Chain A
Amino acid sequence: MSEAKQREPLIHISRRGNLPWWGAWGIRAAAVALAMMVCALLCILVTRTNPLDIFRTMFEASFKTERKFWVMLHSTAILLCVSLAVTPAFRMRFWNVGGEGQALMGCLASAACMILLRDAVPHWLMIVCMVFASITAGAIWGLIPAFFKANWNTNETLFTLMMNYIATQLVAYFCVVWENPKGSGQIGIINQRDPYKGLGWLPVVGGQKYLLNIIIVAVICAAMFFYLYYSKQGFELSVVGESEKTAHYLGIKVKRVIIRTMILSGALCGLTGLLLTGGNDHTLTTTLVGGRGFTAVMVSWLAKFNPLWMILTSFLLVFLQKGAGDISTNFGLNESFSDILTGIILFFIIGSEFFIHYRLHLRHRHLSDKEAVK
């Protein structure tokens, strides 16, 4: 008996049957709540203020004024757009961590159109060129790693990671080439003054600066949902992700699926670049995408690669980041504090996935079960 006791591990893990969706989201919500508690505790330790103040600050960061609310919606939309872009690749188990670079290439291409074509073409044609150029640039940046993955099985995580930095340096190069004013090393707002004023800026819809971007992303989100779940191509890429051998048996051309999916993924990232440079910021900097290419990996993964759930997860991450940012500034902390809070929350959410898929059995319960059987 004592020997058996020694050998039996303290905790026994078994796989859960499929949890209903509310069970899974309940566990995730519990994880977020727990994470917020830890964060609040940390904030209290550092700032020695009332935790309610901290939560209020966090909430107000996204909802206090109409402007803040729109900014939050817009950030959510942009993050969602990058996440939607990387999702088809992820469903294929192609770890595209190069969303950052692909989106930056989109920014670069739109900025190039805005600067180089401003004497040559009218506004509407410029917009057309920008859409075309940014989508092409992103698609090329996605195609390169896919080409090598499809033909020679080159590791895509490392490849796309490196492509990010190459894109960053390309942007840095053009920032100096197109600098304005001379010697600043920065581009500033493109086409801000007459005679070019507003050339290549996406139109404002409904009197709300952010609305057009949000609508575009909503349309992409719906389209992506149908593409992934109700189209033949969406089915094919899921099969390739599950098992390449099965895909071969089904007569799916794996190489073609990999390349096609990554072109789509890169193209959508490039389109995000257009929304950033053409729609909102009207500038080009190396940090314009702001790490969204990496955050998108988490958004997509947390939503289990489902575009509709991604609306929720991208909102959650933006809400947390904005809240953590405001906590840092309002309580006189260094802005990096928000990174720590974001990190903690992410760790909790990442860790919670385990409890969705597995169940723990403690040893003593197990033993008492046995005794009950006896």
Chain B
Amino acid sequence: MSDTGFFAALGAFLVGVAAFIPRAVVQGVPLLLGSTGETLTEKSGNLNLGIPGVMYVGGISGVVGAFYYDQSVRAGAMVDGVLDTARYAANMNGFLAITVPVLSCLLGALLMGLLYCFLTVTLRANQNVTGLALTTFGVGIGNFFGGSLIKLSGSDVPSIALTRISTYFHASLPFADSLGWFGQVFLSYGFLAYTAVIIALAAAYVLKRTRVGLHLRAVGENPATADAAGISVNRYKYASTCIGSMIAGLGGLYYVMDYASGVWSNNAFGDRGWLAIALVIFTIWRPNVGVLASFLFGGLYILHMYIPTGMNLAVKELYKMAPYVVTLIVLILSSLRNKRENQPPQHLGLPYFREER
């Protein structure tokens, strides 16, 4: 191959990569938030299999908040029964357009986390059973309220569009477009994407470097010892699970308001919640690893769209297996190597009752 041909091919490849990375990243952000939340939860020994449901609830709560804010602004901008678009746009307050959905999302996810904790910690129920029920319930809530809002908004298509509000979530830095590939790869995302990275790094710091993190890990590894050391096991379990749920809920919110441009359609979120749980294993319970790993997972999740398979559509289905297979390999390898720091929290999924030690 001649030099010019080689460089042209390389250039085309790099352009392709620069276009691929942002797509992988936007796929990865919900997974990152979900897995950070689940990691915090699992570090306290709670295996919350309800995370997919929590993410659905986070998403729909945000949408409900945004929907009512949008409706109130719309009502204020009605002139003789016709929507005055200029006034509608002017009345929309950027601060409220972001805080209302975010707060309602956090509230919804928090309630789900509390429900899980109440059943598993206070009422000492089996974690697997509770988690699976929570997923059924959460997905049901998401699709039910989604469906009801679709009916309320009287739209022709089976989805709700909160396009105007989503522009606030989607807004990237104004100079991102002028920076070419650099802007495209690093600066083209909404604020929640950066928040997700910050949360993940902060969670990693808290877990690894602070006293609270040490206590939390102690609770997950051996609650009896933690209890004997004077750490309030239940309080740590509650706090980490609820905070974890709220972080995971933000993943649902990001998906609807930023990635899907404010369009909620039922079941669109798909199996990303389970993928977030897979990511926890893949990152061997380290949120900081999750930052890059989630983007890798995002890439794997959409890989099938980019691999040329010609007319053979069936192979695409096999490529969709990739994230799960990779996770399994990591799970197997980490147990094969049996390094102590790479293991799941020792008390993961097991209940702790002081009087039954």
Cβ-defined contact, B130 with A350, below 8 A: yes
> Once the chains are docked, how many angstroms separate the CA of A363 from the CA of B84?
62
Q: Given known contacts A172-B320, A347-B115, is B140 in contact with A342 (CB within 8 Å)?
A: yes
> Once the chains are docked, how many angstroms separate the CA of A172 from the CA of B319?
11
Of B14-22, B119-127, B221-229, the one touching chain A: B119-127
Contact count A vs B, C-beta below 8 Å? 153
Q: Given known contacts A155-B344, A155-B348, A347-B119, is B144 in contact with A337 (CB within 8 Å)?
A: yes
> Once the chains are docked, how many angstroms separate the CA of A161 from the CA of B328?
10
> Once the chains are docked, how many angstroms separate the CA of A13 from the CA of B324?
42
Cβ-defined contact, A294 with B140, below 8 A: no
> Once the chains are docked, how many angstroms separate the CA of A121 from the CA of B147?
49
> Once the chains are docked, how many angstroms separate the CA of A170 from the CA of B324?
12
Secondary structure of the A side of the interface? Answer: helix
Residue of A161, A297, A344 near B277 (CB, 8 A) is A161
Q: Which residue of B lies closest to A159 (CB)?
A: B331
Determine whether B139 belongs to the interface, using a CB cutoff of 8 Å to chain A: yes
Chain B residues with CB below 8 A from A59, complex form: none
Residue of B141, B144, B328 near A333 (CB, 8 A) is B144
Chain A residues with CB below 8 A from B133, complex form: 298, 343, 346-347, 350
What is the distance, in angstroms, from A293's C-beta to the closest C-beta of chain B?
10
Cβ-defined contact, B132 with A166, below 8 A: no
Determine whether A338 belongs to the interface, using a CB cutoff of 8 Å to chain B: yes
Q: Which residue of A lies closest to B328 (CB)?
A: A162
Determine whether B341 belongs to the interface, using a CB cutoff of 8 Å to chain A: no
> Once the chains are docked, how many angstroms separate the CA of A155 from the CA of B124?
21
Determine whether A334 belongs to the interface, using a CB cutoff of 8 Å to chain B: yes
Q: Which residue of B lies closest to A15 (CB)?
A: B355
Cβ-defined contact, B119 with A158, below 8 A: no
Of B61-69, B85-93, B95-103, B332-340, the one touching chain A: B332-340
> Once the chains are docked, how many angstroms separate the CA of A14 from the CA of B126?
18
Chain B residues with CB below 8 A from A175, complex form: 317
Cβ-defined contact, A162 with B147, below 8 A: no
Determine whether B268 belongs to the interface, using a CB cutoff of 8 Å to chain A: no
Chain B residues with CB below 8 A from A358, complex form: 124
Chain A residues with CB below 8 A from B118, complex form: 351
Cβ-defined contact, A343 with B314, below 8 A: no
Q: Given known contacts A162-B324, A166-B325, A297-B129, is B124 in contact with A354 (CB within 8 Å)?
A: yes
Cβ-defined contact, A152 with B335, below 8 A: yes
Binding site for B on A (CB under 8 A): 13-15, 95, 97, 148, 152-155, 157-159, 161-163, 165-166, 169-170, 172-177, 185, 291, 294, 297-298, 301, 333-334, 336-340, 342-344, 346-347, 350-351, 353-354, 357-358
10 contacts between A and B (CB under 8 A): A95-B349, A97-B132, A158-B331, A166-B321, A175-B317, A176-B313, A337-B144, A339-B140, A347-B130, A353-B126
Known: A175-B317, A336-B140. 20 other contacts (CB 8 A): A152-B338, A155-B335, A162-B278, A162-B324, A165-B274, A170-B318, A173-B318, A174-B314, A294-B132, A294-B136, A297-B129, A334-B266, A336-B147, A336-B266, A338-B140, A340-B140, A343-B138, A350-B126, A353-B123, A354-B123
